[in-house]
C-alpha cells in the first residue's frame, strides 16, 4: 500500500442494518480519500511521486514545453543575427582615407547582388542594401574599443513606365540625396558600392591612436523557423590600421 492513501475502515461486527452502515462508511471514506489525494496532488511546491498525480505530471509537461520553446526562440534569434556563411557574398577589402578631419570609407559587395535582390529590383519593389560601419581603437591584447558607428543605406526603385531607377541614399536614416539613373546596371552598382563615404569625424581624443574601421553589408531578409524574420549579411571586414594627427593621416 502506497503512503498517502487513506484506507476505508473495516467493521467486523454487524448489527441490524450494519451492512448498510458499513457500505455507506466505505463510500464516505472513499470520497474523503479521493478528496485528500486530489488536494495533495494539486498542492503547490509539494512534489508527488504517484504515477497518476495529474498536477505533478502537468507541471513536468509545462516545464518540458517551456524548455523546448526557449530552445526554439534561441535558435531563431541566433539565425537572425548570424551572417550568411553559406553565401559567397563578401567584402573583399575596406579602404579608408582622410580629408581634413573626416574619415572616408570605401567598400564593395562582391560578386554582386544576390538573385532575390535582383528579382525584387526588376519587379519594381523598393530594394535596400545597408552598410554598417564602426570605428575602433585597435588593441593587441584586448578587444578593440568602439568609438563611433554609422549606417549607410541605399534604396533603389525601378520605374517600368519611364524605364529608369530612382535611388535614395541615407546616412543614419537622414536623406542625403535622391538621383534618377537611366540604366538598371547603374542602380545595381549604387546598391553594391560604398563610395568613399565621409563616415567619421576625428577629434583630439583620437590623436596618435591606432584606428580601424569595420564594415559589413546587409543585403536581404529571410525567415527562420517559418515565422521569425531574419537579416542576411556578410561577415565583418576590417580595414588596415591608420593613425590620425592634427595635420592628417600618418603611417
CA distance 238 to 166: 31
What average pLDDT does the chain have?
76
- Looking at per-residue pLDDT, the higher value among 73 and 217 belongs to 217
Grid coordinates standing for 88?
Answer: 559567397
C-alpha grid cell, residue 165: 531607377
CB 194 within 8 Å of CB 222:
no
Question: Tell me, what's the pLDDT at 84?
Answer: 43
Residue 141's pLDDT is 75
How does residue 68 score in pLDDT terms, banded at 50, 70 and 90?
A: confident
Residue 45's pLDDT is what? Answer: 45
Cα gap 198→156, rounded to integer Å: 21
Mean pLDDT, residues 17-31 taken together: 47
Note the pLDDT of residue 15.
Answer: 44
Using the structure block, give the residue that is written with the C-alpha cell 594627427.
245
C-alpha span between 132 and 117 (Å, rounded): 18
Rounded mean pLDDT, 149-163: 95
- Tell me the helix, strand and coil percentages in the chain, rounded to 5: 30, 40, 35
| pLDDT tens track for 33-59 | 544 444 444 444 444 555 445 555 666
pLDDT, tens digit, 9 for 90 and up, residues 157-214:
999 999 999 999 999 999 999 999 999 999 999 999 999 999 999 998 899 899 999 9
pLDDT band, very low/low/confident/very high, at 9 (cuts 50, 70, 90):
very low
Give dist(CA 113, CA 116) in Å, integer: 8
Amino acid at each position: 500500500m502506497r503512503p498517502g492513501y487513506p484506507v476505508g475502515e473495516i467493521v467486523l461486527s454487524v448489527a441490524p442494518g450494519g451492512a448498510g452502515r458499513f457500505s455507506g462508511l466505505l463510500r464516505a471514506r472513499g470520497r474523503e480519500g479521493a478528496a485528500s489525494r486530489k488536494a495533495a496532488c494539486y498542492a503547490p511546491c509539494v512534489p508527488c511521486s504517484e504515477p497518476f498525480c495529474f498536477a505533478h505530471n502537468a507541471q513536468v509537461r509545462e516545464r518540458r514545453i517551456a524548455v523546448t520553446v526557449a530552445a526554439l526562440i534561441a535558435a531563431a534569434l541566433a539565425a537572425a543575427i548570424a551572417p550568411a556563411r553559406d553565401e559567397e557574398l563578401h567584402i573583399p577589402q575596406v579602404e579608408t582615407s582622410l580629408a581634413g578631419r573626416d574619415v572616408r570609407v570605401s567598400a564593395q559587395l562582391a560578386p554582386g547582388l544576390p538573385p532575390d535582390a535582383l528579382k525584387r529590383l526588376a519587379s519594381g519593389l523598393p530594394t535596400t542594401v545597408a552598410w554598417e560601419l564602426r570605428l575602433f581603437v585597435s588593441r593587441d591584447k584586448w578587444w578593440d574599443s568602439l568609438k563611433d558607428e554609422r549606417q549607410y543605406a541605399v534604396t533603389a526603385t525601378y520605374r517600368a513606365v519611364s524605364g529608369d531607377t530612382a535611388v535614395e541614399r541615407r546616412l543614419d536614416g537622414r536623406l542625403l540625396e535622391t538621383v534618377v539613373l537611366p540604366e538598371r546596371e547603374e542602380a545595381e552598382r549604387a546598391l553594391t558600392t560604398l563610395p568613399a563615404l565621409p563616415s567619421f569625424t576625428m577629434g583630439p581624443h583620437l590623436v596618435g591612436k591606432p584606428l580601424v574601421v569595420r564594415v559589413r553589408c546587409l543585403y536581404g531578409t529571410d525567415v527562420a523557423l517559418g515565422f521569425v524574420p531574419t537579416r542576411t549579411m556578410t561577415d565583418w571586414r576590417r580595414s588596415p590600421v591608420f593613425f590620425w594627427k592634427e595635420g592628417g593621416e600618418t603611417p
